[in-house]
């Protein structure tokens, strides 16, 4: 029944009864409830419609967020995978340099025991670096350059802790490659030709990096979620 029909029926009833105050009062209350219910139903319908739109918008935002987060996660995984590979190359070059220095020191010790060198003598491989040593240093420096370039372009995808560890590892590795000749070349008595602190810091750098690498690897795992499994 429409609102108009309800109103016409109400008027007819009132007219036929003669305008009884009690009936009019009751009918007014009934009409009030009818109108209130209709208004409430209209408001509820509007509210439900608005709520549905809000839910739809929220779902859309949630989907967009998931897509963006997924893309960032994939990018982080790609960056870490590439970074880990480059770190491995740097570590391999660094270890070969350390091994080369150990071999050099053994050969120099044997040479000093066998041969009595004059002060003016300039012996290849003793007072100079060998071609192999130069090549190893170049390799390490090139790998470091490649690593630092990639890291610098993608550090946005890494955590603060990860960046701090990367900065320390690359700085120490750079010190090792840059000071190899200072540490390796000695005089005829086997004494270092640079300040003793250089060799001390060089050795400390060699010892420190292996302690930093596990922490960096653990941070990589945290970023890509391996440690949450």
Q: For residue 128, what is the DSSP state?
A: S
Check residues 211 and 124 and name the one with the higher pLDDT: 211
CA dist., res. 183 & res. 195, Å (int): 10
Residue 1, pLDDT > 60, answer no
Q: Could you report the per-residue pLDDT of 132-189, keeping only the tens digit for each? A: 999 999 999 999 999 999 999 999 999 999 999 999 999 999 999 999 999 988 877 7
Residue 127 dihedral angles phi and psi, to the nearest 5°:
-95, 0
State how far the alpha carbon of 92 is from the alpha carbons of 6, 160, 196, in Å: 92, 26, 26
The stretch 187-198 carries a mean pLDDT of 81
CA dist., res. 167 & res. 181, Å (int): 23
Q: Give the pLDDT confidence score for residue 134 in this predicted structure.
A: 94
Q: Give the pLDDT confidence score for residue 148 in this predicted structure.
A: 93
Q: Could you report the per-residue pLDDT of 16-68, keeping only the tens digit for each? A: 555 455 555 665 666 666 666 666 676 666 656 655 555 555 454 445 445 44
Q: Give the pLDDT confidence score for residue 173 in this predicted structure.
A: 95
Q: Where are the domains of the chain?
A: 3-61, 75-228
CA dist., res. 32 & res. 36, Å (int): 6
Q: Give the pLDDT confidence score for residue 58 in this predicted structure.
A: 47
Contact indicator for 201, 175 with CB cutoff of 8 Å: yes
220 CA to centre of own chain = 7
For the whole model, what pTM was predicted? 0.66
Fold of 75-228: 1.20.120
């Amino acid at each position: 029944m429409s609102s108009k029909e309800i109103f016409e029926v109400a008027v007819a009833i009132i007219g036929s009864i003669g305008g009884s105050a009690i009936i009019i009062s009751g009918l007014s209350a009934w009409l009030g409830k009818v109108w209130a219910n209709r208004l409430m139903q209209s408001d509820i319908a509007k509210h439900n419609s608005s709520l549905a739109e809000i839910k739809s918008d929220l779902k859309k935002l949630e989907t967009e967020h998931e897509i963006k987060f997924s893309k960032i996660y994939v990018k982080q995984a790609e960056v870490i995978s590439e970074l880990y590979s480059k770190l491995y190359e740097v570590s391999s070059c660094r270890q070969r340099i350390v091994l080369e220095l150990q071999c050099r020191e053994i050969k120099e010790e044997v040479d000093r025991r066998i041969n009595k060198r004059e002060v003016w003598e300039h012996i290849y491989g003793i007072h100079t670096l060998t071609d192999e040593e130069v090549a190893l240093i170049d390799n390490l420096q090139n790998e470091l350059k490649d690593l630092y370039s990639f890291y610098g372009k993608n550090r946005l995808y890494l955590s603060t802790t990860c960046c701090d560890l990367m900065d320390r590892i690359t700085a120490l590795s750079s010190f090792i490659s840059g000071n190899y000749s200072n540490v390796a070349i000695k005089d005829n008595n086997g004494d270092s030709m640079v300040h003793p602190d250089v060799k001390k810091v060089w050795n400390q750098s060699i010892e420190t990096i292996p302690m930093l690498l596990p922490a960096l690897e653990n941070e990589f795992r945290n970023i890509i979620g391996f440690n949450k499994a």
